[in-house]
Amino acid sequence: MEFLVGSGAPETQRSACVVAGVFESGKLSPAAERIDQISEGALDKILRRGDMQGKLGQTLLLHSVPDMPCERVLLVGCGKETEFDENNYRKATAAATRLLNDTGATDMTSYLPELEVKGRDVAWKVRLAVETTAETLYRFEQLKSQASDERNPLGKVILMVPGRNDVAAGQTAVEEGRAVSAGVALAKDLGNLPGNICTPSYLAEQALALQDQAPIKTTVLEAADMQALGMGALLSVARGSRQPAKFIIMEYAGGRKDEAPTVLVGKGLTFDAGGISLKPAEAMDEMKYDMCGGASVLGALKAIAELKLPLHVIGVIPSSENLPDGNANKPGDVVTSMSGQTIEILNTDAEGRLILCDALTYTERFNPEAVIDVATLTGACVVALGAHASGLLGNDETVVSELLKAGREAHDRAWQLPLWSDYQEQLDTNFADMANVGGREAGTITAACFLSRYAKKFKWAHLDIAGTAWKRGKEKGATGRPVALLTRYLINRAQRPKKRQQAGPTD
């Protein structure tokens, strides 16, 4: 897909299709007004006939509009002008992309970025248009015997900005949007693959392949390496699986050698049946998505490598399966984590925190500037926040606020939940240093409380993406979230003044 940025009047565009917005009140966008003038009121006549009401997502494709050199004009409904916000901008862009791709248009010139979105500049609108277009066109067809028949798929999009002074910012936004989209597509592909293909070994292979495409050094630790490090919590989860656990470390060294890294830790459970605490059969097929935290780390590293960000970033992905077996964890078992802390396993389906806690302890060796873990961790987060916002908790308010800001900018939002010490006592047990679950109440928070006990030596934040990483229902599939949030967070970090801080060893 080719994305370009341009500036100019609609009547000068000789493309397959020019796209312009219409509001529900009948008000035309500036580009639509110009087309109406050039065509001597052709659009006004259409509106007065009632062929186009301007409802959000409504589309009307016009052929041979008088005095317009383009082949077609697509009018896109934008809803009520007073309610036109980020979400409606995204929906209008997706509607235009979907229709033109389905009708075989090979290119389009979109004037939607000229529309006013409160609090958002041209660069934001261009970037979101790129990401939305790529998301709308995404197809997962790797495992189908025949791909869908798209005669002439949409191949080029020209995004029109108000003036020539906006073109440079628009071009930078295109590059960012393309990089994020590539990272999102990688995360989606991995999340959509079934567990019999996307095993821990496969995930490790994809991480190793990434170093051939980008300046990333990848190391994969095997079970013996983890045993030597004392990763008893992680290895206990893998005991029920015939697939060997993998511990993946990816280092992107785009910053100074003395720069302390930002570390992204992603949960890589390639299939989660719940272990002995077996999940219900309904929707268990979707448990292949339990590695979407790890997939998002891979996607974010791919994105920042394409952008060549001047940062030092390390990705860590603990990966295994969680299956029932004679050798699997049992409720009541006690395991010892890499930190030396002991854990009583009350529920084997709370395994994500067991593999993450050892990964968090491992990151201490990097003397990190900040550590962010990303995990499809709790069903409680789905109940609390649904599919719209990721849960966010942490021990450093600066890191948390930066992530919240990045989420708003990327339209990949998170919502902060409390991490008060009051919740910690729910993890108390008579038989170990802590239990791996804290009961039904505040499940997302107590899971983060558990992880916080392994993050005391660095600034840390936790993203629970159980509700945002997977789309349920008829169009189920991986969403690629929160690649956009993580990438924006890292872009913002790259743009702020650097502080000298000695990094620790990376081997």
Contacts of 102 (CB under 8 A, 6+ apart): none
Unique residue bearing structure tokens 């961790």: 377
SS3 letters across 105-116? CCEEEECHHHCC
Q: Check if the beta carbon of residue 474 is closer than 8 Å to that of residue 195.
A: no
SS3 assignment, position 414: strand
Strand order in the sheet with 342-344: 334-336, 342-344, 434-435
Both tokens of 176, joined, read 């960012």
CA distances from 209 to 116, 182, 212, 219, 467 (A): 42, 15, 5, 11, 29
Active site residues: 279, 353
Nearest to 113 by CA among 123, 103, 99, 101: 123
C-beta atoms surrounding 57 within 10 Å: 16
Q: Which helix (H) or strand (E) holds 462?
A: strand 460-464
C-beta atoms surrounding 171 within 10 Å: 16
Contacts of 483 (CB under 8 A, 6+ apart): 180, 183, 184, 187, 296, 299, 300, 303, 412
CA distance 294 to 301: 11
Q: Check if the beta carbon of residue 482 is closer than 8 Å to that of residue 468.
A: yes
CA distance 425 to 414: 26
